[in-house]
Amino acid sequence: MDGLFLEIGPWRMNKDQTLRMINGSWDEYANLLFVDQPIGTGFSFGESNSYPTTLTESTEQFLTFLDKFFEIFPEYAKDEIYIAGESFAGTYIPYISSAILKRNNERKTVEYQKVIRRIAIGNGWIDPIAQGLLTGDSKTRANKALKECMSHLKDDLRINDESCEEILNVVLDASVKTDESGNKTCVNQYDIRLTDSYPDCGMKWPYDLETITEYLRRTDVIGAIHADAQKIGWKECSGQVGTGFDKDISPPSVKLLPEILSKIPVLLFSGDQDLICNTNGTQDLIAGLEWNNGKGFQNSNPEKWYVNGSLTGTWQTERNLSFVIFHNASHMVPYDAALGTMDMIDRFMGLKIKFDNLIPSRVENEKVEDVTNSTAGSLNNEPSSKVNASEVNDESDEMWDRYYNAGTASLVIVIMAVIGLVVFLFRGKLFRRMRSVNQAMKAVVDSNENTEMQELVIETPLFGLDDDEVSTTSLTPYNDEQGNHETATNTPYKDVSDDDQGNHGIATNTPYKDESDDDDKTKYNGDDDDNSGHEIDHERNNTRLQAAVDTDEEH
């Protein structure tokens, strides 16, 4: 749910809990269905003994939800499925997509298969070795932690290993500075351009979540989205759910990628200002990955990518795998770069070929291949074949007619991190934004909740702190038209504790304008844009979101 207001949804939330429209929302060409998962997070609820303890269980529960959703809304049963997300979604997405592909193979009739087309992962946690280890020239403490971590991973490679926690702690501790008043600060592990009070180091970031949580606990919002069955109020993360995964011995999702890549295109994208799931780690992961008869990128180079006339990053594609780097973007890329991520998903879904009214953008030396292949992820699970631009143009009428047909659509499932899951219903027939809003709810204080970012990856519960150790200094993000943000010292972030597994969904990128005083702001290329200030009619309901919550209750 927080992804709706932070990243890919059509709105941003002001401090007074009013909403404004933004440019760059993924609902420009999609219907969005937000799902809180696993059970026990967000509005999702169940008996505590039903909480998943392994990735296999959480995957099965989500597939059950998906089946139930299609039973209730059969008009979407044959929608094409796209799955995208960030952070620990780098683990969730391969497990879910692999399960769907496997189940399709077992279900011989098309009637019972799900049409999964592509997956996209941003700053994802995929490979604990390539993404989590330091090199041999590290300091003594880091080297010791590295050896212990390597020893454990060599004996039993799994997503959860506490011996690896110390490595990131070394990096964060090295960034600690003490001011004249004796206050300690450290780098924000999700955006290295920012600092935070020590030992928080970004655990409570992004700080908009305080307002969003209060909004989603208002009784009028709960009523508007029909989430009344959940009695304790919206809760982004659950420590009980998180600790349930502590003993999970599931292998890292990198083990699943080669088989997935043999069936459907995969996009990995990365904000270059992230530390915890950083770009270097993703590059190392790709360099060591063997897929489709090759290891790493062999016959392609990163090409400069421009959006709205500005250099946004680089784009590289080969053998069904695309890798996109966003310049000046954090762990939550859509939070910083709304238009860029919108253009990215348009390209990945092949929309740039058909429509000339999308965001002006270009990739140098661009070649149309895997990412625009209309046969990718077909129900027979055949590998995607490469096509060129002329082939796409020749088949474009047939390729796009189904999107204008009321009986066909595409379902894009966007998983934020550990708990958030968003479903995009891509319908060429609609091509409009759903600008209605769900009225929000009365705050129900829960001292045990934490932010999604506090415990980012299941296998690295890095920063467990006692409640009295957590600072309440808060920053408020601000975005300009390119998505760069600034921070301001504002109201304290409440109700943050030592829970595990806090995570969020990938969300619309677009500017958040801070309405507070500017005295304490630290700016990062933040020019005001014209996307703020549009309040939403609170009497209108978002029927798709309502459907999501109704279905979530069924789950």
Active site residues: 87, 274, 331
Residue 12's beta-bridge partner residues? Answer: 20
What's the token pair of residue 237?
């993360």
Count of alpha carbons within 13 angstroms of residue 418, beta-carbon side: 33
What's the token pair of residue 376?
């990718």
Count of alpha carbons within 13 angstroms of residue 43, beta-carbon side: 30
In this structure, the number of other CB atoms found within 10 A of the CB of residue 211 comes to 20
In this structure, the number of other CB atoms found within 10 A of the CB of residue 85 comes to 30
The letter for the amino acid at 359 is: I
Is residue 111 within 8 A of residue 77, CB to CB? The reply is no
Measured between alpha carbons, how far is 354 from 365 in angstroms, rounded to an integer?
19
* Nearest alpha carbon to residue 507 among 212, 231, 285: 212
Give the DSSP letter string of 343-411: HHHHHHTTHHHH-SSS--EEETT----GGG-TTTT-TT-PPPPP--HHHHHHTHHHHHHHHHSTT--EE
Residues of the chain by 3-state class (helix, strand, coil), percent to 5: 30, 20, 50
φ, ψ at 184 (rounded to 5°):
-95, 140
Measured between alpha carbons, how far is 451 from 41 in angstroms, rounded to an integer?
11
b/e burial code for range 451-486 (CB count within 10 A of at least 16 → b): bbbbbbbbbbbbbbbeeeebbebbbbbbbbbbbbbb
First CA to last CA across the chain, in angstroms?
16
Contacts of residue 42, Cβ cutoff 8 Å, sequence gap at least 6: 1, 36, 234, 235, 236, 419, 420, 552
The burial class, CB within 10 Å (0-12 / 13-18 / 19+), for 74 is exposed
What's the token pair of residue 101?
């592909």
Is residue 263 within 8 A of residue 101, CB to CB? The reply is yes
Measured between alpha carbons, how far is 484 from 394 in angstroms, rounded to an integer?
39
Is residue 409 within 8 A of residue 397, CB to CB? The reply is no
Measured between alpha carbons, how far is 156 from 372 in angstroms, rounded to an integer?
39
